[in-house]
Structure 1
């Protein structure tokens, strides 16, 4: 019998990559880097919010039910990024599986039922339950998803969009909601393969201190950058959580600064003027909550916080150090937390 593939090098498993194929290898590195950064930044946000909520629900804190109890995390969409995010949450945080729910079009095929994560196909149910809702659906599904979620999201539900190519202003319009974070990544240059190609196992990669350092917001390396507006949106989201709990502005600042207390220097502190205009800050009493901040505005406009961060290198460095420290913190074995 004649081997019809004998002279076809593309069918030979030992030929390796051609010169032209090697030129495209950076695309694989780029995809791996974006997936890593997407999961790492989502994990950081969840850990930061959990740290704040733990303080808010302490016996000495006077809060309402918005900030009480454990963090409820919803994932809408269980494609590649949805699965990666779910595995990362289960392995890299101490969020209980019972406090993670997934809405997917094919829940019967979900592989995570045995972990205790509930999977179903009901976007509206997920929207009314979650404290943090990750959008991991395809851009083409967003009009339908927006119809499901519109007017059903609690004002206090933080929506985090992993969906690419859809700006935060469009998401706000589709969802009728302004408590949304949409990371804006940019690839600068094509040579990302050397660093990010090691991310074949995302769970292992998320424990790699070099990769964590490369993904630090404000100081990212590896030819991938993240808009500084993302950091602003994260900090404003913490402020809104305090406002949801009717926390006085002075206490809110104290708690948020406390999340970074081991990294701040004595000269670095967030104050009211860091978040809001000087005129508004001067009229805000310490026993009054901060106003609710639109995260859509925080990511599309120049804010006091963006100006503060952009002009203060020491603050940028402190935030990067705090990011690495929180991501590298081992998962707590105390189920009561």
Structure 2
């Protein structure tokens, strides 16, 4: 006879049952922390997917020398680093051999290394081979880590930082590198800073829930969190830089990006003036000229033509949202 477990869902045995009233008032911090982890990892994976999609388009171009695969490095094997690695493996098109993790204690990542992800403690090795490098280290460790890797990053290696306590300009100075994306999250007043973020303690499991995935949507976050919308324009500028690094002329770059973000309203969402508001190294009338390299620090700290386009163009925003949901479709199927 099957025995029933009468303790399941019993409130008196729940986490909150043993808390004082003062402690219960601080529970929103637990929700926020979980929300930052879930949303931060999801947004990072989305960037990885966009870069991967663009690389595929570049590789289909005649004479393009883009690598056939994306080499991803995760620097830091703590809670965020582990969650990010697991989400990349479950939601992205990356293979385990495309991901490397550098951490002081690689022996703690047995469940990840056993499926083919290389885990070691060598920050310089990681930086040298990464096309996309995720920084998942504590603020107190960042100066030493940056000192280790700053001379070993290629100019077109995109660095994505989870270390929120260190300002972007400070990070750029520590790394001597401007090809950096650092999402800026803010907490907003919310009548229901719900426990949706706490549905599961694993990010990939949480994102299987439609309400969690919807709450993490970059352009309209819910659940008490808000993402600075300049993150979106910085991501798009990073794709522009990727084309420039591959020596794609401005005309071909615009064609590739318009093909990537097909809004259904217009096939010419992006024009030269979408990215540039002043004369640069490229000329809209000379499609073989390269776009100038865009400093992503400026793109995230100043107003840009691209940020204005994202605000004005509903078709582009809708397209980004559809692509975001699509990036995690494999989780729903699982």
C-alpha distance in structure 2 between counterparts of 1:45 and 1:217, whole Å: 11
Unaligned runs of 5+ in 1: 1-11, 333-337
| Contact 2:259/2:267 (8 A) holds in 1 | no
C-alpha distance in structure 2 between counterparts of 1:203 and 1:308, whole Å: 32
Corresponding residue for residue 244 of structure 1: 245
Corresponding residue for residue 326 of structure 2: 325
The DSSP-based 3-state class of the residue aligned with 1:115 is coil
Corresponding residue for residue 75 of structure 1: 74
Give matches, 1:195-210, under 5 Å.
195-210=196-211
Unaligned runs of 5+ in 2: 1-11
Corresponding residue for residue 163 of structure 1: 163
2:27 corresponds to 1:25: yes
Corresponding residue for residue 9 of structure 2: none
Which is further off, 140-149 or 315-324?
315-324
Corresponding residue for residue 286 of structure 2: 285
CA change 1:165–1:73 in 2 (3 A) is same
Which is further off, 322-331 or 26-35?
322-331
Cα RMSD (Å): 2.2
CA change 1:257–1:32 in 2 (3 A) is same
CA change 1:331–1:294 in 2 (3 A) is farther
CA change 1:130–1:177 in 2 (3 A) is same
Which is further off, 319-328 or 212-221?
319-328
CA change 1:33–1:45 in 2 (3 A) is same
Corresponding residue for residue 225 of structure 1: 226
Q: Alpha-carbon deviation of 1:318?
A: 2.9
C-alpha distance in structure 2 between counterparts of 1:283 and 1:42, whole Å: 32
| Contact 1:219/1:320 (8 A) holds in 2 | no
CA change 1:330–1:249 in 2 (3 A) is farther
Q: Alpha-carbon deviation of 1:228?
A: 0.9
| Contact 1:268/1:315 (8 A) holds in 2 | no
| Contact 2:91/2:327 (8 A) holds in 1 | no
Q: Alpha-carbon deviation of 1:108?
A: 2.7
| Contact 1:74/1:134 (8 A) holds in 2 | yes
The DSSP-based 3-state class of the residue aligned with 1:69 is coil
Give matches, 1:96-175, under 5 Å.
96-111=95-110, 112-175=112-175
Deviation digits for residues 21-74 of structure 1 (CA, Å, limit 9, x no counterpart) = 33222221111111110010011011111111011112x43222xx22210000
Which is further off, 96-105 or 208-217?
208-217
Corresponding residue for residue 6 of structure 1: none
The DSSP-based 3-state class of the residue aligned with 1:74 is strand
CA change 1:250–1:37 in 2 (3 A) is same
C-alpha distance in structure 1 between counterparts of 2:89 and 2:232, whole Å: 24
C-alpha distance in structure 2 between counterparts of 1:159 and 1:243, whole Å: 17
| Contact 1:32/1:199 (8 A) holds in 2 | no
C-alpha distance in structure 1 between counterparts of 2:218 and 2:327, whole Å: 13
| Contact 1:132/1:158 (8 A) holds in 2 | yes
C-alpha distance in structure 1 between counterparts of 2:323 and 2:93, whole Å: 18
Which is further off, 130-139 or 306-315?
306-315
| Contact 2:187/2:225 (8 A) holds in 1 | yes
| Contact 1:30/1:193 (8 A) holds in 2 | no
Q: Alpha-carbon deviation of 1:75?
A: 0.5
The DSSP-based 3-state class of the residue aligned with 2:114 is helix
Q: Alpha-carbon deviation of 1:282?
A: 5.0
Give matches, 1:188-199, under 5 Å.
188-189=188-189, 191-199=192-200
C-alpha distance in structure 1 between counterparts of 2:90 and 2:326, whole Å: 17
Corresponding residue for residue 260 of structure 1: 261
Which is further off, 203-212 or 251-260?
203-212
